[in-house]
Amino acid sequence: MKILVIWPPHVPSYFNAGHHTPAFMTAGHLRRDPRVTRVDVCDAGALNMNWKAVGDLLFQGDYDVIAVMNDFDAVDGLERFVTYARELSPRCRLVTFGRLSSMNPGYFERYDLDAIVRSGDYECGVAHVVRGLAEGPLTGPLPGVAVRVAGEWHDPRQPGESLPAEEWVLPDVNEIPYSAYDRLYARDDHKFCGIPFRRELVVPTARGCPIGCDFCEVPTIFGLKERRLSVDRVIEYIETAFAEQPFEYVAFYAPTFTLDRRWLKELCERFRSGSLRPRWKCATTIHHLSEELVTLMGESGCVRISVGLETLEPDSQGNLPRAKRIEDEKFRTLAAWCDRAGIELNAFVIVGLPGTTPAGMARTIEVARRTGARVRPTMYTPYHGMSPTLTPLEISRYNRQLVAEPGDPVELRAWYTFMFGREDRLTTVYEAIPRYADSDVA
């Protein structure tokens, strides 16, 4: 069987290379099936591919299965992609997977698809479709996958599967368009997660999170129980990747990176004592940090810690999980730890969180900036408000940039000032990361 895994052409609202790794991990997972003869993978959105190039790929590839990755802000080109696929690769069966189909699967039933991955790990859902098709036409639902038979959708009768971390196939760095990713990270005033002027290796380290924020999709898709790679596998992957490509720092992709303190201390000690000492960054919560950990992280090469500050308004703290309820002094203390350790503190704040006001958000940002922290705002997105009947334009409002349900125009203007106003506080953390030509691994 010949398979294409593709993120269709679109204009990204926001770019995080970690969100794109599932395409490459799914491709790697499918290659384990002996019935699969070829798997191509294409990040057409990041590559800014034109439709002629997409048409060439579909026509010449003559694929048996096309797995289409979806996301909250990447559905505007989906209908056109499906049209091209049906026209130019008529033998293919189409399955979609991703964050949006896991949160709002009914939305995709309007498209000319054959299957929709609704729950479980993406690799498992797509693999079930591939295995089913290898045995003949799909005749009914699969674990975690809705299937269309004779024009009717059949919901899965059992949830999707979760892969143990030791079974994950980590991305093949030779397939990923890093030059395109570099360009997307080049302007820090866009407040994307990457570090400008340095090449990033994303290491998908963990899935699942026990904190349970209602504005985050991770617990719904990957569960409340964390699954994490072993330290040995993380080190091995970094060493292999750095030997193959000119990476300059590591981005650990995990919802709460410091959740397992024993694991973290082992990783830091390995970095401190080993021959490989990469610069690196991570995201976690303030609750899961201590002065001891921050100091150790700085000594082992950490240059940025991102934390979910969300808001410092007391009246809105009740809308956050207990682990996210942070007082000013606690944040200032963390900022001081990071400063002494030589680590940039990156504060995620949520614009428009219920119970907050524009004045309160302005104060939260000011408090964070007075500590020297970099501030990255995102718009509050009530994923529970999505429905299958939303139009593509309405769905695109759930992209953490636009207000999902616009209200008072004066307040709306104030919220958008935080999201789209001029930004003059740009990071300089790249100065702490040696260029590839000057690094120990060059």
What CATH number does the domain containing 125 carry?
3.40.50.2300
Backbone angles phi, psi at 424, to 5 degrees: -115, 5
CA distances from residue 377 to 339, 364, 387 in whole angstroms, order as listed: 21, 11, 25
Cα–Cα distance for residue pair 310/313, rounded to 1 Å? 9
Q: Are residues 229 and 129 in the same domain?
A: no
CA nearest neighbour of 310 among 263, 270, 368, 255: 368
Do 116 and 216 share a domain, yes or no?
no
pLDDT at 191 (0 to 100):
94
What is residue 214's predicted lDDT score, i.e. its pLDDT? 73
* Burial (Cβ within 10 Å: 0-12, 13-18, ≥19) of residue 53: middle
**What is the model's pLDDT at position 314?**
81
Judge whether 181 lies within some domain: no
Determine the pLDDT at residue 327.
Answer: 76
pLDDT score of 328: 86
Does any domain span residue 172? no
- Answer yes or no: do 116 and 226 share one domain: no
pLDDT at 442: 46
* 165 inside domain: no
169: left (phi over 0), alpha (psi -120 to 50) or beta: beta
pLDDT of residue 438: 66
Write out the E strands in 277-361. Answer: 280-284, 302-310, 344-351
The reply to whether 286 and 382 lie within a common domain is yes
Last residue of a domain, one of 134, 154, 174: 154
Kindly state whether residues 192 and 282 are assigned to the same domain: yes
Do 140 and 199 reside in the same domain of the chain? no
- The tens digit of pLDDT for each residue in 428-440 reads 999 999 998 666 5
Residue 242's pLDDT is: 97
User: Which CATH number goes with the domain that contains 422?
Assistant: 3.20.20.70
- Kindly give the parts of the chain with pLDDT less than 70: 317-319, 322-324, 437-442
Longest dimension (CA), the chain: 64
Query: Whole domain around residue 429: which residue ranges?
Result: 186-438
Residue 199 resides in a domain: yes
Could you tell me the two tokens for 244? 């193959």
- 143 and 208 assigned to the same domain: no
Whole-prediction pTM value? 0.94
Domain count, the chain: 2
What pLDDT does 219 receive?
82
At 221 the pLDDT is 87
Element holding 133 (H helix, E strand): helix 122-134
Same domain, 193 and 83: no
Q: Judge contact between 411 and 390, C-beta under 8 A.
A: no
Whether residue 191 is found in the same domain as residue 125 = no
Instruction: Examine residue 191 and state whether it is found in any structural domain, yes or no.
Output: yes
Same domain, 213 and 344: yes
Task: Answer yes or no: do 147 and 270 share one domain.
Answer: no
3-state helix, strand, coil in the chain (%, to 5): 40, 20, 40
pLDDT in tens, 341-391: 999 999 999 999 988 999 999 999 999 999 999 999 999 998 888 999 999
CA gap 329, 121 in Å, rounded: 39
